[in-house]
A and B are shown apart, each in its own frame.
Chain A
Amino acid sequence: MTKILFTDKLDSCVERWRSAGMTVIGPVQRANSSVYDAVKSASELDLNLVLTDRSIKELFFPQSEPMLRYAITKAEINTDEFLPPSGPRIIFGARACDASGLAIDDPLFGWDYKDEYWFQRRNESVIVTIACTKADEFCMCTSLKLSPDSTKGSDILLRPLENNKGWQVEELTDRGREAFKSVADLLQEGSDPAAATVTVPEKFNADACAEWLKNPENFESRFWKEISARCIGCGSCTYLCPTCHCFDIQDEGGSFEGIRRKNWDSCSFALFTMHTSGHNPRSTQSARWRQRIMHKFNYFPGKFSANSCSGCGRCTRECPVDMGITETLQEISKLSQ
């Protein structure tokens, strides 16, 4: 017997969580894309998507985050700090790749200096992940040593029932247990079998790629130019990526008052590393693509013991010129044989 949440009870759960003061968030369809967003009832949730178009990252690290409002006089600088809107949240229906992505970035936002904008949201969010029973050709979690039912970064893992009538509930963390205590009476003990998680074929050998990337001789390989020749540097892959964390800090307003914001930035852009002198350490698109791959699969794991990639495949799925991490790592896998 396992705890089961039946689909017809989900709306009551949403209501229960909402009346307890939690913001309920889940995958929904918006005008042009599917995103994770706040809902008022379970009927708004779209739980049949392979994956939302946009990743879960923006719930923790928004595209544009106001940090300080400044007002300046000759005698003083007044600043008001913006802190992230506080309050408990439950994210229902995350995918394992998205939840893993958050856990991958935790050490980055925490090393030495703790980014409260990230951690306040992390500490107030319960992540309820639904194991995948379908995938598409772009999914690649298994190539990153994750899986459609990875528990990394999740507080609750739900396994869809074979009969499609609900989910088996696996409580993973205290935070998850706490959130599900409030709906305990809406869950039932049952023996309905879980549906098999989808099989995601392995697309490349991550270990072999890591070895190849670590070899200093390959830093200036012709490979980088060839593989990135059609990159237009639009930055879509970085914005859609659940683990890409690069940002810019910009002041919006005038000399006397305005707002300092932290905005998403992208290593795909030439201005990203441009010095005032005009010197640019990564002046070509191929150098920038190399940086993106090296960062995710060599530098980041060197520092934080995990690839900066959870295999969601959005970079490839949405790339306007049909590039992406998959193709590059597949080619590197071949080169490293």
Chain B
Amino acid sequence: MTENNHNAAQNIYKPATMKIVDRRDEAPGVRTMKLEFQDPADHELFKETYRTGMFGLYGVYGEGESTFCVASPETRKEYIECTFRESGRVTSALARADIGDLVTFRGPYGNRFPLEEFYGKNLLFIAGGIALPPTRSVIWSCLDQREKFGKVTIVYGARTVADLVYKHELEEWMQRDDVELVLAVDPGGESPDWKHRIGFVPTVLEEAAPSPDNCVAVLCGPPIMIKFTLISLKKLGFDESNVYTTLENRMKCGLGKCGRCNVGSIYVCKEGPVFTAEEVSRMPAADL
């Protein structure tokens, strides 16, 4: 069960109104928006419940709601940041919205990364393409309390240089001496002045060869990348129970009622979206 316990008289399907206070183009078709709660009661509830890993349903009335992660960390709850690719009806409407416009948010829902269990451990973050935002929420949640964790390594790859998101933060992480950042683009995706790695994430990860000792890995990316990165992690000696990932599925309610996000018996909206690789391996592969 999640930690959320909403007041019984509340209409659980009614979203909070959010104002777009900032937005940033990350990559072609990919945008980040900074959202501010309009009702202090909604904001209070968010502050009480939000932990890194949880997701929300972002919406535009007339178009509907779309599910994606909260990209901002649990250490910064004054606003919500979300990053999305303009691809369907709702995300296209979100992309048309301007600073000052109002959109909606329902959440935060689901489980979280168990940060307390990561205390004192080395952290390895691995992300591919547009899956950096969910990883970034965990990264900043840890970097904002840096002293509680050991070595921090981030391996991030995208198809092309243009497809790398959060470029300004990559720069910041690159400068920090308490973070090791390994950047890569797929072969052919490099620009003439690209100074970092060229290769697929699993290969780059194996070259970087982080030690599995006292280390937890957080892995987010497209299914094909996850599949091959898990093999590489295994080669490096990581135990599946120390590798965390998030699952995404189509959702309508986010509350365990609309009946579609399950993988086997597991409801991604309530028992997820955060799972260990070991938990995922026990799910029926044909339902993923």
List residues of B (177-234) whose CB comes within 8 Å of A's CBs: 223
| Closest B residue by C-beta to A78 | B17
Task: Choose one: A108, A258, A294; the contact of B257 (CB below 8 Å).
Answer: A108
Whether B250 lies near A76 (C-beta < 8 A) is: no
Contacts of B261 in A (CB 8 A): 273
User: Which chain A residues border B60 with CB–CB below 8 Å?
Assistant: 255
Partner-A contacts on B (CB < 8 A): 1-2, 4-6, 8-14, 17, 60-66, 87-88, 91, 93, 100-102, 104, 223, 248-250, 252-253, 255-265, 270, 284, 286-288
Identity of the chain B residue whose Cβ is nearest the Cβ of A219 in the assembled complex:
B284
A68 contacts partner chain B, Cβ-Cβ < 8 Å? yes
Question: How far apart are the CA atoms of A77 and B65 in the complex, in Å?
Answer: 15
Can you list 29 pairs linking A and B with CB atoms under 8 Å apart? A81-B11, A109-B257, A111-B1, A111-B256, A113-B4, A114-B12, A116-B10, A220-B286, A246-B259, A246-B260, A247-B253, A247-B258, A248-B252, A250-B64, A253-B62, A255-B62, A255-B63, A260-B13, A265-B258, A267-B259, A273-B249, A273-B250, A276-B66, A276-B87, A277-B87, A281-B288, A282-B287, A287-B286, A287-B287
Chain B residues with CB under 8 A of A74: 100-101
Chain A residues touching B, majority SS? mixed
Nearest residue, chain B, Cβ from A276:
B88
On chain A, the residues within 8 Å of B65 by CB distance are: 249
| A272-B260 in contact (CB<8A) | yes
Interchain CB contact under 8 A, B104 and A77: yes
Q: Chain A contacts of B63 at CB under 8 A?
A: 251, 255
Q: Interface extent on A, as a size class?
A: 35 or more
Contacts of A277 in B (CB 8 A): 87
Contact mask A201-221 → B, CB, 8 Å, 1/0? 000000000000000100110
- A-to-B contact residues, CB < 8 Å: 67-68, 70, 72, 74, 76-77, 79, 81, 83, 108-109, 111-116, 216, 219-220, 245-251, 253-256, 258, 260, 262, 265, 267, 272-277, 279, 281-282, 287, 291, 294-295, 298-299, 302-303
By a CB distance below 8 angstroms, the chain B residues around A70 are 61-62
Smallest CB–CB gap between B62 and chain A, Å? Answer: 4
List of A residues within 8 angstroms of B259 by Cβ: 245-247, 265, 267, 295
